[in-house]
Amino acid sequence: MTQSATPTKPQPHVTHTVFNQSSPRVDVNEFDLDTVLVDAVRRHDGGWGEDELREIGALVGSASFKHDAALTHTHLPELKTFDRWGHRIDEVEYHPAYHRIIGDAVRYGAHTRCWEDPQPGSHVVRAAAFMLFGEIEPGHACPVSMTHAVIPSLELQPDVAANWVPKALSREYSGDLGTDKTSAIFGMSMTEKQGGSDVRANTTVARPVGRGGPGGEYLLTGHKWFCSAPMSDAFLVLAQAEGPGGEGLSCFLLPRVLPDGTRNVFRIQRLKNKLGNKSNASSEIELDGTVALMVGEPGRGVRTIIEMVAQTRLDCVLGSAAGMRQSVAEAVWHARHRAAFGATLADQPAMKAVLADLALESEAATVTAIRLARAHDEDADDHERAFRRLATAVAKYWICKRGPHHSYEALECLGGNGYTEDFPLAMRYREQPVMAVWEGSGNVIALDVLRAMTREPESIAAFDHEVHLARGANRTLDTHLDRLRVHLGELVRLDPASAQRRARSVVEAMALALEASLLVRFSPAEVSDAFIAARLGEDRAFEYGALPDGADLGAILERH
């Protein structure tokens, strides 16, 4: 037998070549690429924060940050009720990626920078930072939002605020529990299993230690059905106060660790198995002689904590808008890198129409969100405060409801890839509903709009003034505004039952009027005309992609 002079070498086992797949959407600047957000920040007096927002955009757009975001939804929080020796510790263990992400968000002031450095546009810059982080990893945004939102409520009790507000304003972060920390993350817990949104049905009891009253120490006993971010350093909770300090549903600050270093009684019964928001632990807790301090007046707990709720409702709008931005960015990226039937998907007329329609929805949400953020700045006058009271609720109802369907349609643009957990839109599809449920689901918010119109009629006048700033620019919008005035006039004269039945349709009409008015004033005509025709025109359709003939799809998409 003759041997070959050159022995055969092992060859790589290559069965096929991968092509026609989009490249990873990483190492991009998420701020610079978001033309709509950049324009809105500049327009609403936030230009002074652009350099920092650009740093955030590069950070959250990096491959490492996006990998961390994926890890937080793969390695989920785990409840550790006891340590190895049998001591009850009631801790939640997170993947280190979660701590890296929330640490970055705190370092850049996505939690409380608007309170730390109040000036025109402070809420705008903070909102943009919050949106950029939440666009890539939304779960950590819950405790970040609550830490932001707790400040106005704490300030109603100066002696409590003196200790806790400086910790909330800190840009340091530690996930450990202890008394030696110079920073703090906050949570909240209002609902109970028997009441849900009807927080006045709460049965948790607060008994005073001593005389009690505002700033006084109480012992709380009861069960809380939802407590988000249970590893926070402190929480605002509601409980029924008893004793000489005053009675009734009141607000309390509950620390996880007491001043002497011992753990407060905070028994985590279980973590909620949620549809989405997986990286953020939500829990059910038992309080049993748990130490807390009264914040605000006894019996005025809802009024005290509503200051926090107002801010978190705005953050629900910001979070939904951020999710829409991620959905559009991922769908457009895929369509521009994938070919079918002889052309890239982005150049196929049917796909181009869907992408443009998704972009319209995203732009309307972003423009509205940043306008609302500006209305929350400290220089807001009475007119602006009246506007934000009504407009925040209206936007919370509508934009948060639009989020889930929007993410689904974007997911479908990726085909089978979109339906897998390897791509971020499956996570986003599961994530978007939480913004509609948290801080008041649809009916609660619609009824809140009715309440505002009844109790604060100046809010109707402010809202009406805002939307009519666009009058005369688009005939279809003008017709809608005329009808809306009629409907609002009718609504406030109806009996309560009839008003409730009509509330959703009127709030929807208000939201579309606000979005359309802002687009007319602040976006190119190609955008506003297409949006108004698709949402308010005679030929409007239920699904994305049914845009009017003549819509400049290329100009719409160029902004995204």
Torsion sign (Cα): 204, 312, 435, 272 = negative
Within a domain: 17 = no
Within a domain: 14 = no
Report the alpha-carbon distance of residue 274 to residue 44 in Å, rounded.
36
Both tokens of 250, joined, read 């009141």
**Do 290 and 308 reside in the same domain of the chain?**
no
Q: How many CB atoms lie within 10 A of CB 336?
A: 15
Residue range of the domain that includes 541: 304-558
For position 305, what pLDDT does the model report? Answer: 92
Per-residue pLDDT of 83-95, as tens digits, reads 999 999 999 999 9
Per-residue pLDDT of 103-134, as tens digits, reads 999 999 999 999 999 999 999 999 999 999 99
Element (H or E) spanning 529, and its range?
helix 525-536
Amino acid in the structure at residue 254:
L
Q: How many CB atoms lie within 10 A of CB 74?
A: 13
Report the alpha-carbon distance of residue 261 to residue 462 in Å, rounded.
50
Task: Output the domain CATH number for residue 324.
Answer: 1.20.140.10
Give the residue from 132, 108, 110 showing the smallest Cα distance to 31: 132
**Do 428 and 547 reside in the same domain of the chain?**
yes
Torsion sign (Cα): 399, 403, 405, 406 = positive
**Do 510 and 454 reside in the same domain of the chain?**
yes
Amino acid in the structure at residue 112:
T
**Do 72 and 90 reside in the same domain of the chain?**
yes
**Do 141 and 121 reside in the same domain of the chain?**
yes
Element (H or E) spanning 191, and its range?
none
**Do 113 and 245 reside in the same domain of the chain?**
no
Per-residue b or e along 357-385, where b marks 16 or more CB atoms closer than 10 Å to that residue's CB? bbbbbbbbbbbbbbbbbbbbbeebeeebe
3-state class percentages of the chain: helix first, strand second, coil last, to nearest 5: 55, 15, 35
Query: DSSP string of 102-148?
Result: HHHHHHTTTTTHHHHS-STTHHHHHHHHHHHHHHH--TTHHHHHHHH
Task: Output the domain CATH number for residue 210.
Answer: 2.40.110.20
Helix-then-strand count for the chain, H and E = 18, 11
- Domains in the chain: how many in total? 3
Within a domain: 15 = no
Q: Which residue among 300, 326, 352 closes a domain? A: 300
**Do 324 and 282 reside in the same domain of the chain?**
no
Cβ atoms 60, 322 nearer than 8 A? no
Query: DSSP string of 238-273?
Result: EEEE-STT--EEEEEEEESB-TTSPBP--EEEEE--
Within a domain: 190 = yes
Distance of CA 35 to the CA centre of its chain: 20
**Do 502 and 424 reside in the same domain of the chain?**
yes
Within a domain: 176 = no
Q: Which residue among 140, 169, 198 closes a domain? A: 169
**Do 41 and 158 reside in the same domain of the chain?**
yes
**Which residues have a Cβ under 8 Å from the Cβ of 496 and sit 6 or more positions away?**
none
For position 20, what pLDDT does the model report? Answer: 86
Q: Which residue among 281, 300, 319 closes a domain? A: 300
**Do 374 and 290 reside in the same domain of the chain?**
no
**Do 289 and 312 reside in the same domain of the chain?**
no
**Do 290 and 223 reside in the same domain of the chain?**
yes
Distances (CA, A) of 410 to 136, 330, 334, 516: 15, 8, 10, 22
Give the residue from 307, 276, 325, 392 showing the smallest Cα distance to 131: 325
Distance of CA 109 to the CA centre of its chain: 16
- Identify the segments of the chain with pLDDT beneath 70: 1-7
CA angle 505, 510, 516 (to 5 degrees): 125
Within a domain: 181 = no
Length of the chain: 560
Within a domain: 7 = no
Within a domain: 18 = no
